[in-house]
Structure formats: C-alpha cells, structure tokens
Chain A
Amino acid sequence: MTAAPPRARSRRRRRALVMLAAFGLLAVAVAASLSVGSRPVPLDEVWRALADPDGSVATSIVRGQRLPRTLLALEVGAALGVAGAVMQALTRNPLADPGILGVNAGASLAVVAAVALSGFVGIWFYLWFAFAGAAIAAVAVYLLGTVAGAFATPARLALGGVAVSAAAGSLVQTVILTDQRAFNEFRFWAAGSLEGRRWGILLAVTPFVVVGLLLAAAVAPALNALALGADAGAALGARPRLTAGGAMAAVTLLCGAATAAAGPIGFVGLGVPLLARALVGPDQRWVGPVTLLYAPVLVLLADVAGRRFVPGAEVQVGIVTAVVGGPVFVAIVRRRRVAT
C-alpha cells in the first residue's frame, strides 16, 4: 500500500482527535452529572458510593437518583443525536430534525389529549402515551410518503412530516386553549426535563433505544450510497425502499423513546449532526459515531447546568440544550464551510 495523500492523512488525524476529545468530554460530563446537584457530592464520595455502597445519604442520592438520571441523559442524547443524523441523511436536507417526522407533535398531542380526557398526570402516564403518539405520527408520515406504492422521496417525506406536525400541533393548541389544567401540565412537559426520572423509566426505554441504535448502524452504509440519489444508490447496491424503511423505524424508536422519557428536547437532533458533519465531513459512518458521543455530552452538560442555573428551582434540560448549543453552533457555522 502506498502512503496516503497528505489531505487524507490530515483528515484521519482530525477524526481521531475529534473522537478522542469526545471521550474526554463525556467522562467529565458524567462525573459532573453524578456530583453536581442541590446536594453536591464530592467526586471521591461518588466513587465510594458506586464501588462500595453503604447506607449513607450520599450513596442513596448517587445510586438512587443521579446514576439513573445520568444514564437516561446519555441514552436520550444518543437517541436524539443519531436519529437526527439518520433523518438528515435520509431526507438529504440539513434542516431535517427528528421532529420533522411528526414525532414530537404526535407525542405532544397524545399527552395533552390523555391529560384532558382522563385527568391523570405523571411521568409514567405520559411515557406510554407519548410513545404511542410518536409512533402513530411517524407511521402516518411514512405511509404518506409511500402512498400508492411510490418510493418515499426526501422532499415528500419532509413535507408530509411538516403537514402532519402542523395538523397535530393545531389540535394540541385547541386542547390547551380550552383546557386550563391540560395546558398547565403541558407547558412543563413540553420544555423537556429529566427531573425525577429514576431506574424504572430508564429500564422501560432502554430496549427501544438499543434496537434503534443497532438499526441505525445497520442502515448507515446504505445511506451513504443513497446520498448520491436513489438511482445512483441502487446502482451501488443499496436498496432504497428497504433502507428508507429501516431508517424510519430507527428514527421512530429512538425519538419515540427519548420523547417519552424526557419530553420533546429540541436542537440536539438538529444541531449535533450538523456539527459532526462540519467536524468530520459528510461520511455517515463517521457522522454517526461522532454524533453518538457529542449529543450525550450536550444533554448531560445541559442537565448539570440546569440544576445549578437558578438557585431554588431546576431549569428544564430542553431549555438549556438550546441556550448552550445554539451559540456554539452559530460560532461554528460562521467560521467554516458547512457541508450541507
């Protein structure tokens, strides 16, 4: 094998650096998430609580509350980020975020409707309704994109998603404008929060996230080929219809699980894959892993910051992700050429 040309070599070094930095940031974020809170636990106590649990208060806080919340933040971040990367590759549109499939609107509609009709509230109650709503909306968009047996073209999927989101969003507004109680619940759920999520919620969504991530990894090579267009992709051996179906299933599982567990968290699915493309180029096999590592970093750090942002009350993680991620994103977009 001859020596790689300098450009390819520098790109390889850059990718290695990006991945290395990601692992470092992830370690810092996890440590911070276990330690910071309304009752701070020093890192050595965190370690003791994890390695050698005793009956102390620190142990119960770290193992009972902070550990499941940290793991859930990791899962939610990874799920949203990867779903966004898949969605942007599938629709070949840099503005496509998971919400464009109608997932957020579907979940929101299911949650407000359930609260308005039954009067029940609570995380567990929202979990399954949000998941069901997200799944129904995504299936509707996919059917709309492939109606009458035609292949789901990217523009058609995107527009179908926007149409379904708009319709569901209107119904949500109708409900919250007429039902005060549903509105009051909805405004907190819709901000996106990880507060009070324990092991039960984590275990309930983990299988969906794992299957979704595996599915996303399986379709990544085919998405690369399809980036050249459906015909060229087919000529390269990718099967457009199967790939689109697999990608949509992955996005539905990932976003449905994340939204069910934490409410609709914006920006992660849109911003992190764009950022990853700016860092390592358009190859899906790199965009996926880089997103998989950086999206959880963003969600974790946002969650930690939200706990200490304002004294006395937590700021919802969905708010902080955008406030922190937005300016970084703008700075990067301004500095370099983004592959769109």
Chain B
Amino acid sequence: MSVARLGRLSVRVRRRSVAVVAVLLAVTAAVGVAAVLSGEYTSTPAQALDALLGRGDVLAQVFVREVRLPRALAAVVVGAALGASGAIFQAISGNPLGSPDIIGFTVGAATGAVTTIVLFGGTPAQVAVGALAGGSATAALVYLLARRDGGVAGPRLVLVGVGVGAVLSAVNSLLLVRSSLAAAQTAAVWLAGSLNAMSWATVTVAGSAGVLLCVLATLLSRPLGLLVMGDELAGGLGIRPQGVRAASIGVGVALVSLATAIAGPIAFVALAAPQLARRLTRSPGPAVTASMAMGAALVLCCDQVAQRLFAPVQLPVGVVTGSLGGAYMIWLLTREVRQRRR
C-alpha cells in the first residue's frame, strides 16, 4: 500500500492493484492494435497501417477505419461498462453471484428487445430502444418494489429482482415459443450478444457516455467498499449509505443499459470480470477499476476469437465470452486451490 499525492489531493493506492490494471490495459492495447492491423482483407500490418493513416487502397481504408477500429473501440467500451456494473452490483448485494441480472435488468432488456422483434418486426435501432426501455423500466420497478422506509436494503433488492426476473424470463420464453421460427431466430441472435456492424456514430455517442459513467463508477468505488462493512459503520465514517446505494444503482443500471443497447446481452462478463479482477488483485473491496480493465480485455479478446475461430463464419461474441470466460474462471479456481495447499 502506498499513497499517491497530487498537490492537496492524496489517494491510497495498492501496488498490486495498480500492477494488475496496468497489465490488463497493456493486454487490451496490444490486442486492440492487433485487431485493427490484421484481418482478412489487408494481408500485412504495413498495408493496414497505411490504410489507417488514410493512404493506399481505398477499400482497405474502409475495412480498417470504418469496420475494425469502431468495432474494437465498441468492444472496449462494452467490456468496461459490464465489468464496472458487475463490480457495483456485487458490492451492493454482497453476493458473488450478484450481477445486473439480479435486479432483472438483463431479463427486462431482453423482454423489450424480443417484444420489438417478435411482435413489431423492429429494425436494429428500434430493438436497441426496446431493450433500453425494457431494462430501465424493469430496474425502476424492482427498485420501487424493494423500497421500504425510504431506502433499499441489498438482500431485499436481490430477492425482488429474482422474483421479477423470473416472471420476465417466462414472458421471454412465451414470446419465443409463440412466434414464427424466423422471428424466434432473429431474437436468438440478439440474445446471444454481438458486436457485428458497429458504426462510428454509435461508438462516439456510446464512448463518451461510457467514459463519463466509468469515471462516476470509479469515484463511487471507495464509499461502496465501506458499505460492505455495514450501514452503521459506514455512516460513522461519514458516508450516507442510502445515498451511495441509490447513486451506485443508478450508475450501474446506466452502464449495463449502455452495453446492452450497443451489443445485446453479452453473457457472463458482468459476473465474471469482478470475480477475476478480485482474485488477481487480491483486493478486499469491490475493485471497480480493475473490473473495468478486466471487462474490456475480456470482451475485446473474446470478440477477436469470435471473428477468427470459424472464419468466415462469425460467432456472436456472447458465445465466446461464456465459454472462454467460463474456462478461465475454472482454471483460476483450480489454481487457487493448489496454491493454498502448497
């Protein structure tokens, strides 16, 4: 543990956390550069670099600047948002299984999107709006139902979220069973979560919102860590527990809405990234920053695998985050045991 000072500001910093975040950012940067510079169309990195700088083959320029670069940036934004929101919800619920799903957000977003697809045959933009509306309405409903005496307790929030989520997930199955095969398949593709066809317009808007929200999440990380010790103790340390909790839920919901609107419900990242980050940093608190970096690295790497594993067939990134993230977590769990026995 050491202290970083900047003028009158000083922040306590854990060396191990800083190292982990640095390594994760380096991995993200390296994979990002590789993602932009290599691919089917441009055969050498030099050609791709030319295209990136606006020289050479026009078609290569389109591929590199209009397809690969926005896609890689979108992967980073989506991953960081999912990681941060997962860390927030695990801290609030005090439960390693806590993720944005626990407040029914993801299920509600799916209900919105699947309704738009199945009942109205919506365009992708309309589906994104449907997902946002469904998710936000569900989160608001769960929050209101879980409110009592002017505040929300973690366990009650979780349980109400489980109940509401169960109903909505049944509605989703009903929609899938009752719809035509074609509509059900379109819905299944959206439900898998994918980063195909990212445009600069999407990335610019989502990127700025994402950066703002990630800064807010980082600022909330210390008071959140104190909440874990219990409301009274945190209150004694100068924190307003209900205020922090409400603000965190707001930021967490906004983060996961952003990610879901861009890419659909990408499986497992919000749940796994904070757990992986905590295991690597050995941090006792919610490790919001490390979770963000882990989420970004995870989604970016998985999207590369999704694009290249069965090329030219492109898998949805959600398929890969589930299997690769799952395998990584299994490996980490087994390694932890072996180390403890030594």
The answer to whether B162 touches A150, judged by C-beta atoms less than 8 angstroms apart, is: no
The answer to whether B340 touches A160, judged by C-beta atoms less than 8 angstroms apart, is: no
Interchain CA distance A338-B156 in the complex, whole Å? 8
Of B96, B174, B340, which is within 8 A of A159 by CB?
A: B96
B322 adjacent to chain A (CB < 8 Å): yes
The answer to whether B188 touches A177, judged by C-beta atoms less than 8 angstroms apart, is: yes
Q: How far is the CB of B314 from chain A (nearest CB, A)?
A: 11
Q: Which of A85-135 contact B (CB under 8 A)?
A: 93-96, 100
B-chain residues with CB within 8 Å of residue A177 when the two chains form the complex: 185, 188-189, 192, 315-316, 319
The answer to whether B177 touches A170, judged by C-beta atoms less than 8 angstroms apart, is: no
Q: Which of A237-255 contact B (CB under 8 A)?
A: none
Q: A167-B326, A177-B192, A191-B177 are in contact. Are A326 and B159 (CB under 8 A)?
A: no
Q: How far is the CB of B56 from chain A (nearest CB, A)?
A: 36
**Nearest A-chain residue to B338, judged by Cβ:** A148
The answer to whether A169 touches B267, judged by C-beta atoms less than 8 angstroms apart, is: yes
B46 adjacent to chain A (CB < 8 Å): no
Q: Which of B246-302 contact A (CB under 8 A)?
A: 267-268, 271-272, 275
B83 adjacent to chain A (CB < 8 Å): no
B49 adjacent to chain A (CB < 8 Å): no
Q: How far is the CB of B133 from chain A (nearest CB, A)?
A: 20
Q: How far is the CB of A101 from chain B (nearest CB, A)?
A: 13
Interchain CA distance A144-B319 in the complex, whole Å? 22
The answer to whether A162 touches B271, judged by C-beta atoms less than 8 angstroms apart, is: yes
Of A148, A173, A180, which is within 8 A of B181 by CB?
A: A180
Interchain CA distance A272-B243 in the complex, whole Å? 33
Of B102, B185, B191, which is within 8 A of A180 by CB?
A: B185
A-chain residues with CB within 8 Å of residue B320 when the two chains form the complex: 170
Of B166, B184, B313, which is within 8 A of A271 by CB?
A: B166
The answer to whether A173 touches B322, judged by C-beta atoms less than 8 angstroms apart, is: yes
The answer to whether B159 touches A274, judged by C-beta atoms less than 8 angstroms apart, is: yes
Q: How far is the CB of A327 from chain B (nearest CB, A)?
A: 7
Q: How far is the CB of B163 from chain A (nearest CB, A)?
A: 4
A319 adjacent to chain B (CB < 8 Å): yes
The answer to whether B158 touches A315, judged by C-beta atoms less than 8 angstroms apart, is: no
The answer to whether A183 touches B322, judged by C-beta atoms less than 8 angstroms apart, is: no
B329 adjacent to chain A (CB < 8 Å): yes
Q: Which of B215-268 contact A (CB under 8 A)?
A: 267-268
A-chain residues with CB within 8 Å of residue B97 when the two chains form the complex: 93, 95-96, 100, 158, 162
The answer to whether A159 touches B338, judged by C-beta atoms less than 8 angstroms apart, is: no
The answer to whether B173 touches A190, judged by C-beta atoms less than 8 angstroms apart, is: yes
A43 adjacent to chain B (CB < 8 Å): no
The answer to whether B173 touches A148, judged by C-beta atoms less than 8 angstroms apart, is: no
Q: A148-B341, A319-B170 are in contact. Are A327 and B181 (CB under 8 A)?
A: no
A267 adjacent to chain B (CB < 8 Å): yes
Of A93, A190, A326, which is within 8 A of B163 by CB?
A: A326
B80 adjacent to chain A (CB < 8 Å): no
The answer to whether A333 touches B156, judged by C-beta atoms less than 8 angstroms apart, is: yes
A20 adjacent to chain B (CB < 8 Å): no
B86 adjacent to chain A (CB < 8 Å): no
Interchain CA distance A14-B275 in the complex, whole Å? 41
B202 adjacent to chain A (CB < 8 Å): no
B-chain residues with CB within 8 Å of residue A271 when the two chains form the complex: 162-163, 166
The answer to whether B322 touches A166, judged by C-beta atoms less than 8 angstroms apart, is: yes
The answer to whether B337 touches A330, judged by C-beta atoms less than 8 angstroms apart, is: no
The answer to whether A170 touches B167, judged by C-beta atoms less than 8 angstroms apart, is: no
A147 adjacent to chain B (CB < 8 Å): yes
Interchain CA distance A165-B158 in the complex, whole Å? 21
The answer to whether B318 touches A173, judged by C-beta atoms less than 8 angstroms apart, is: yes
Q: Which of B85-114 contact A (CB under 8 A)?
A: 95-98, 102
Residue among B97, B170, B337, B340 with max Cβ neighbours from chain A (10 Å): B170
**Nearest B-chain residue to A264, judged by Cβ:** B173
A340 adjacent to chain B (CB < 8 Å): yes
Interchain CA distance A165-B97 in the complex, whole Å? 13
B-chain residues with CB within 8 Å of residue A270 when the two chains form the complex: 162, 166
Q: A94-B159, A188-B177 are in contact. Are A147 and B334 (CB under 8 A)?
A: yes
Interchain CA distance A160-B272 in the complex, whole Å? 11
Q: Which of B311-342 contact A (CB under 8 A)?
A: 313, 315-316, 318-323, 325-327, 329-330, 333-334, 337-338, 340-341
The answer to whether B329 touches A338, judged by C-beta atoms less than 8 angstroms apart, is: no
Interchain CA distance A191-B102 in the complex, whole Å? 21
**Nearest B-chain residue to A171, judged by Cβ:** B323
A58 adjacent to chain B (CB < 8 Å): no
B-chain residues with CB within 8 Å of residue A333 when the two chains form the complex: 156, 159-160, 163
Interchain CA distance A170-B340 in the complex, whole Å? 31
Interchain CA distance A165-B330 in the complex, whole Å? 11
The answer to whether B170 touches A95, judged by C-beta atoms less than 8 angstroms apart, is: no
The answer to whether A330 touches B145, judged by C-beta atoms less than 8 angstroms apart, is: yes
Contact bitstring B182-196, A, C-beta under 8 A = 1, else 0: 001100110110000
Residues of chain A whose beta carbon lies under 8 Å from any beta carbon of chain B: 93-96, 100, 144, 147-150, 155-156, 158-160, 162-167, 169-171, 173-174, 176-178, 180, 183-184, 187-188, 190-191, 266-267, 270-271, 274, 315-316, 318-323, 325-327, 329-330, 333-334, 338, 340
Closest A-B pairs by Cβ, 6 of them: A170-B322, A167-B326, A326-B167, A322-B170, A330-B163, A170-B323
21 A-B contact pairs sorted by A residue (CB < 8 Å): A94-B158, A160-B333, A164-B326, A169-B322, A170-B267, A170-B322, A173-B188, A173-B319, A180-B181, A187-B177, A191-B173, A191-B174, A191-B176, A271-B162, A318-B170, A319-B170, A319-B177, A322-B169, A325-B166, A329-B163, A340-B159
Given contacts A166-B268, A338-B156, list 5 more A-B pairs with CB under 8 A. Answer: A164-B326, A166-B271, A170-B326, A173-B322, A329-B162
Residues of chain B whose beta carbon lies under 8 Å from any beta carbon of chain A: 95-98, 102, 145-146, 148, 155-156, 158-160, 162-164, 166-167, 169-171, 173-174, 176-177, 181, 184-185, 188-189, 191-192, 267-268, 271-272, 275, 313, 315-316, 318-323, 325-327, 329-330, 333-334, 337-338, 340-341
